[in-house]
Structure 1
């Protein structure tokens, strides 16, 4: 196969125009093009009056060598890379001790899937419940203000990504095309095939629920075992005669001991009690930067018009998104985070007496509002001292938000016009907030550090210059957004093991090595490969 890049066509081109564009670009006779497949489709909306689609296409021709020679120097034609996934190892027999995967978010899910596909029969533990039971518990918070600390947006099968926009794009370096493996497995599990080629693929919560169940069935069919409501409260770490710390097993909340010498730690960014346990056991944990801020909501129609002009609502464009950054005068970076077109703001708390917001969309993205986090970057310098100080920092502002919202898991909210003017909101306007169990108008400046409030107040008018109406008076802010990423990193070496505890494989968002569904899934694949290679002798080149 050969790859042709940067084929540009009008938004409303005819079905046969792409083939014609390939032939014209390469000056190729029709009978020499045996077939083609779209590898990537993106849109260019910089000119709203003339939005174009940009294609990358893999083609099959009668004589590749002749075409490459004839088109020598054409930088938009090259051999298509081989994206076929190849397993790095296979278990010759069932392992004496199963590898244990802690967590069933995207990272743990793909670590478990890969280990199962390679024949290692992983044992997969999760403190929460299976995804449908967990969904009911999550609705309990949204509809009745009842929080289950072990089954919510953060904890349970599928991880935090289940209640999100389901974005499947990432900017990570991926030379071995692990992302393609993740997307392919998602399609097998029921995701729409378009996620393999659109530039910004997404799935949405409802589809993710059924896909997570299908992937569980696949893992169990290959000999893996799931155990829900199985919280790991301790890790048994022994010191060898050579002075090396090594994992020997895990202890569950009920006291059960599970022997294991390979433990994948994929607990997500909100497993604060687990982080404390690891630090107490001497596992190397360090503070890392993250961001905090607020959620903002606008009418989706406003974003669509600003981004797409007269093409707003076009079926190939869908609901418009945005990505914004502003560098404030006080040195803080303010940026949009987890933008959810046609979505809702959701209650994402996992601890009693605290309020946390996040964003979610369904596959259709057809809710009336667009929402995004408007967040401010912070660093360990803002919460110095203990490696876990970032957790205390998050909790402080989540508690302030809980109090400002009235102490009922309602979110504190404020009109953008009031926030910019520095006055509390006493009522909301034309933009109806989507957060449930409800929004309490107040003064959000009490829910964030002063430097964050100042930076966001400066950023909103700057964003309005890029998207007219972004700082509209009746746009709604709700607080607080604190779970943008993990506040800690569990340092690991080239073999993906903890730098001071052999057999422990920190992975995914919670360990500080991913940010989003796709990157977390990719990290799960990488860690599973490292575990497999440590359990058997296998050539590095793959099998």
Structure 2
């Protein structure tokens, strides 16, 4: 089978145009084309008056070797790559091995658990939150009634933070083993639409993710895995040998009734914590596990009517079914030495309350699969780093996040309302007292204010400069009625739980830091891929230690 890449056709092309283009590209007759299937589809909208669909196509032809020989120097015609996943290990039959423990049931923990289960290692998956449907009820409790459950919310519970997001399934990670394809394939098995296997920028959306997570849990359990929800890791048991080398031996758990405690013996622990497990980061640091501060970003969520973004990006083709809701990605290097950029853009979505701690406000964005809500939203954030902004303790970034989230809670009225401001007022440096034509989507609600009261001064300066620059790139982006809602602080983990080439903690054997919370991923797909890699490392380590 051959793969043709960069095959371009007009957006309104007829069905028969694609096989005709394949034949023309390969210089073959229609009778020589046995079959073809789309491997990937994207769009090129740089020219709004002539938007093109860009295909990668897998093709069966007669006399494949002769056809391929014509294109030896053409990088767009090659043998189709083998993207099938190959397991690196298998649990031996008849040998009783200790069960690996996965801490966290987000995308990283989910795929770590799945791969371990598929290899026969019967993982135990623990999560401080609830099963996904109960967690969804608790999350809506904050959004609708302003009632926060600190253990069951946007951040904590089955599915992780990615469940309440746009469900984006692409990243810029290097993936020579096609592990991302394994992730997408498992998602399709669990109920995701098959088009995620071919779209250049696939997404799923919250409602579909809920049922998929449940289906994958059932698969893991059918393979011998075990879930324990409402189990928060409160302590870690570590032993040192005569040479001072440390190894994990177990976890001390606190169960959901907040009365009972339990212990889990464990020699191999995957730490798939998520970026908001602040108390767990503190516990690990206190236990001597090597942790370091890492960069993250801070800013706001910005909303525009989706129709504005569609028109700005697609011109007269806005609304075309093959294009869907338009997205954007923006970045600007500011004169104060900072970089401001868009983050986690959610076409046709909503801004959501994403705090996991009482007395604090944090925002995020999410979309459903349809992406048909009124507004587009995106994080609009400014990069910060430990040396310049939170030096000293490895956990100083957590305290910085908490400071501005606490400030946002107060400015918002101490009710989980979020502080918000019209863009025109933000640029002018005056508080907003009323909304314009753009209605914010954040729930429980917003309080109009001056966002400069709940952001660092350097971030305010950078955002004001960047907004003007972005308005030149996307007409209407700096419209005075666009709404900015604060604060966006949880763009990524503020810490990294450092690990070696074997994916184990630098100073504590048997601990396998993984995913976004450990500082090694950013988003659903990259976190899931990291979970696969860590599961493989766990399996190989367990086999090496087996009698």
Answer yes or no: is the 8 Å Cα contact 1:250–1:260 preserved in 2: yes
Distance 1:372 1:418 in 2: 19
Q: CA deviation at 1:38?
A: 1.0
Q: CA deviation at 1:30?
A: 1.8
Stretches of 4+ moved more than 6 A in 1? none
Corresponding residue of 1:532: 539
Distance 1:398 1:331 in 2: 24
Corresponding residue of 1:263: 269
Q: CA deviation at 1:537?
A: 5.3
Answer yes or no: is the 8 Å Cα contact 1:298–1:476 preserved in 2: yes
Distance 2:439 2:195 in 1: 32
Distance 1:308 1:373 in 2: 22
Distance 2:165 2:74 in 1: 41
Distance 2:265 2:226 in 1: 15
Corresponding residue of 2:307: 301
Corresponding residue of 2:51: 51
Q: CA deviation at 1:189?
A: 0.3
Pairs within 5 Å for 1:383-462: 383-462=390-469
Corresponding residue of 1:508: 515
Are 1:143 and 2:144 matched, yes or no?
Answer: yes
Distance 1:101 1:474 in 2: 46
Corresponding residue of 2:31: 31
Q: CA deviation at 1:95?
A: 4.1
Pairs within 5 Å for 1:305-384: 305-381=311-387, 382-384=389-391
Answer yes or no: is the 8 Å Cα contact 1:416–1:474 preserved in 2: yes
Corresponding residue of 1:229: 230
Are 1:470 and 2:471 matched, yes or no?
Answer: no
Distance 2:199 2:383 in 1: 30
The 3-state SS of whatever aligns with 1:342 is strand
Answer yes or no: is the 8 Å Cα contact 1:101–1:111 preserved in 2: yes
Distance 2:96 2:348 in 1: 47
The 3-state SS of whatever aligns with 1:83 is coil
Distance 1:521 1:195 in 2: 15
The 3-state SS of whatever aligns with 1:48 is coil
What TM-score comes out, normalization by structure 1 length? 0.98
Distance 2:137 2:464 in 1: 37
The 3-state SS of whatever aligns with 1:395 is helix
Corresponding residue of 1:541: none
Distance 2:80 2:96 in 1: 38
The 3-state SS of whatever aligns with 1:59 is strand
The 3-state SS of whatever aligns with 1:459 is helix
Distance 2:26 2:197 in 1: 25
Corresponding residue of 1:101: 102
Are 1:482 and 2:453 matched, yes or no?
Answer: no
Where does structure 1 lack aligned partners over 5 or more consecutive residues?
539-543
Where does structure 2 lack aligned partners over 5 or more consecutive residues?
255-259
Pairs within 5 Å for 1:146-295: 146-253=147-254, 254-295=260-301
RMSD of the alignment, in Å? 1.0
Q: CA deviation at 1:34?
A: 1.4
Distance 2:65 2:463 in 1: 56
Answer yes or no: is the 8 Å Cα contact 1:95–1:120 preserved in 2: no
Corresponding residue of 1:9: 9
Distance 2:12 2:440 in 1: 35
Q: CA deviation at 1:243?
A: 2.2
Distance 1:283 1:75 in 2: 47
Q: CA deviation at 1:84?
A: 0.6
The 3-state SS of whatever aligns with 1:536 is helix
Q: How many residues align?
A: 538
Corresponding residue of 2:257: none
Distance 2:40 2:149 in 1: 41
Are 1:521 and 2:528 matched, yes or no?
Answer: yes
Q: CA deviation at 1:73?
A: 2.1
Distance 2:393 2:74 in 1: 55
Corresponding residue of 1:115: 116
1:480-515: CA deviations, max 9, x gaps?
Answer: 000000000011011100010000000000000000
